[in-house]
């Protein structure tokens, strides 16, 4: 099936044919396209999706005349390439079975839990692997057909770990970068994976491999040495044929200026004041996460609930607002998590609520960015306590939004962001008592102490935004080939 999207100022227009001559000098490859289809006045329209990755790469794509390759989000539909807001996008089709096996299966029920320290039990199914390999091959072939001679290709994330090697076999002339947005596990966990060699060889097909934190890069290089017998030295590895690759940390960030401007906009300021008035609390604790078992929601809610039940937080003065945006609702593990969270909150509120207020306000729905910004601005304490997270951009969004220097950030030591945001109130989310004490400290510290911490946090975030991240990676990718030996 093909589609011919209508052309709008912020929409997409289909081109008549798939490109037959490789022309793009810069190609971004991700599981999803940076556009979403929405109803319009004249039929369907395509709008740019919000998100840091799109924000960072859009100007590079425009400048270089690049293309973005990915799935458009609907199964069983094969679209022609089209243009969205001046960016060329090339859709890759997925069948319904491939969505089930490649995406929901191998990507999100095997790799996702394994790479997050097996917080949930990973499932290993051969048919999932077969679909994963087939889809990665399709992506690689689509890139090979689009990339110009000597192009730079930047492959994104765990769904496409086989693409770098597959692409190198098809197009040895292109320069390939790969960035993993989620954690990379230690050898002791990674070795569970039945297809561990293929995954390592796939990623190592890239000239430059990027990770969120140095530890993950070290894990990867160690596995190359131990499992594939590659020669390695610090962050370099010698791939077959003598090619020298590098594996380094590039902590991703956000569009800090955009978040700060949004936070200071009149509508968001007014909405934040309205939120504080409606909640009627002296102190607002806030959490916002996808509903995912890696986010530590059970532990966080239990800790806050105990603080209320022990009388250390007064429900007449303090409220905890937790937003859990729906995620992977067809997956059984996520359905159980939602049931568990709602039962736990119901018990806490049932034992301590008054007619006027419940100590915990739980919202399982999507909110627009300006509403989240208003909550950031209104919140006295943001609690970000994942059991494992590659980075966690919510923490950085909160810091960027606190333009007046107020607020306090409680942050898990197992989020990649903790390596940068060292002045946050750092917690071990598995230590419920320790987390309770740190939440209390974040609530009770003097305004001066909180401002000192927030100044340091804001300085770090302001100096390392999403554009710094993209520029650093692409600069290093551009230098690949120098040096040409492990010892240089």
Query: Would you please indicate which residues are annotated as catalytic (active-site) residues?
Result: 181, 389
> Which single residue is written with the structure tokens 């650093």?
472
Q: Which of 161, 265, 146 is nearest to 209 (CA)?
A: 161
The Cα–Cα gap between 127 and 101 comes to 7
Q: Cβ(176)–Cβ(156) under 8 Å? A: no
The Cα–Cα gap between 317 and 281 comes to 5
The Cα–Cα gap between 202 and 137 comes to 11
DSSP track, 161-227: TTHHHHHHHH-TTSEEEEE--S----HHHHTT-TTHHHHHHHHTTSSEEEESSHHHHHHHHHHHHHH
Structure-block tokens of residue 131: 């679909």
Report strand pairing: 35-40 vs 408-412: unpaired
Distance of CA 419 to the CA centre of its chain: 16
Contacts of 117 (CB under 8 A, 6+ apart): 183, 185, 189, 387, 388
At residue 12, the 3 state secondary structure works out as strand
Structure-block tokens of residue 287: 């959490």
Q: Cβ(35)–Cβ(84) under 8 Å? A: yes
Structure-block tokens of residue 57: 């790469």
The H-or-E segment that residue 89 falls in is strand 87-91
Q: Which of 322, 356, 355, 358 is nearest to 341 (CA)?
A: 322
Structure-block tokens of residue 55: 């924000």
Sort 382 into a burial class: Cβ within 10 Å, 0-12 / 13-18 / 19+: buried
């Amino acid at each position: 099936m093909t589609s011919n999207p209508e052309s709008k100022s912020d929409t997409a227009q289909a081109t008549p044919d798939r490109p037959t001559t490789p022309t793009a000098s810069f190609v971004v490859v991700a599981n999803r396209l940076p556009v979403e289809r929405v109803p319009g006045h004249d039929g369907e329209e395509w709008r740019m999706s919000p998100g840091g990755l799109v924000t960072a790469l859009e100007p590079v794509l425009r400048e270089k005349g690049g293309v973005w390759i990915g799935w458009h989000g609907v199964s069983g539909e094969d679209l022609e390439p089209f243009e969205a807001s001046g960016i060329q996008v090339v859709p890759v089709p997925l069948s319904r079975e491939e969505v089930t096996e490649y995406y929901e299966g191998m990507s999100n029920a095997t790799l996702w839990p394994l790479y997050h320290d097996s917080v949930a039990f990973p499932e290993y199914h051969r048919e999932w692997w077969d679909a994963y390999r087939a889809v990665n091959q399709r992506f690689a072939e689509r890139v090979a057909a689009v990339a110009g001679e000597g192009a730079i290709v930047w492959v994104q994330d765990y769904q496409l770990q086989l693409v770098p090697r597959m692409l190198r076999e098809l197009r040895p002339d292109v320069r390939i970068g790969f960035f993993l947005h989620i954690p990379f596990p230690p050898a002791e966990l990674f070795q569970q994976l039945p297809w561990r060699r293929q995954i390592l060889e796939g990623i190592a097909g890239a000239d430059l491999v990027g990770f969120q934190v140095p530890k993950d890069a070290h894990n990867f290089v160690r596995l190359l040495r131990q499992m594939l017998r590659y020669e390695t030295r610090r962050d370099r590895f010698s791939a077959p044929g003598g090619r020298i690759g590098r594996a380094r940390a590039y902590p991703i960030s956000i569009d800090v200026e955009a978040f700060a401007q949004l936070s200071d906009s009149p509508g968001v300021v007014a909405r934040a004041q309205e939120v504080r008035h409606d909640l009627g609390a002296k102190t607002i604790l806030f959490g916002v996460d996808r509903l995912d078992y890696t986010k530590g929601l059970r532990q966080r809610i239990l800790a806050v609930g105990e603080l209320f039940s022990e009388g250390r937080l007064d429900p007449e003065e303090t409220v905890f607002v937790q937003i859990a945006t729906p995620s992977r609702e067809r997956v059984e593990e996520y359905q159980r998590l939602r049931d568990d969270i709602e039962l736990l909150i119901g018990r806490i509120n049932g034992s301590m609520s008054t007619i006027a207020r419940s100590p915990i306000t739980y919202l399982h729905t999507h909110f627009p960015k300006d509403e989240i910004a208003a909550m950031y601005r209104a919140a006295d304490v943001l609690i970000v306590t994942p059991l494992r997270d590659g980075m966690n951009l919510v923490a950085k969004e909160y810091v960027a939004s606190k333009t007046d220097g107020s607020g306090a950030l409680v942050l898990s030591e197992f989020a990649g962001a903790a390596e940068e945001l060292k002045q946050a109130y750092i917690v071990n989310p598995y230590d419920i008592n320790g987390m309770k004490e740190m939440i209390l400290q974040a609530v009770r510290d003097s305004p001066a102490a909180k401002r000192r911490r927030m100044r340091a946090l804001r300085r770090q975030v302001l100096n390392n935004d999403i554009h710094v991240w993209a520029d650093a990676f692409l600069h290093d990718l551009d230098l690949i080939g120098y040096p040409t030996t492990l010892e240089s």
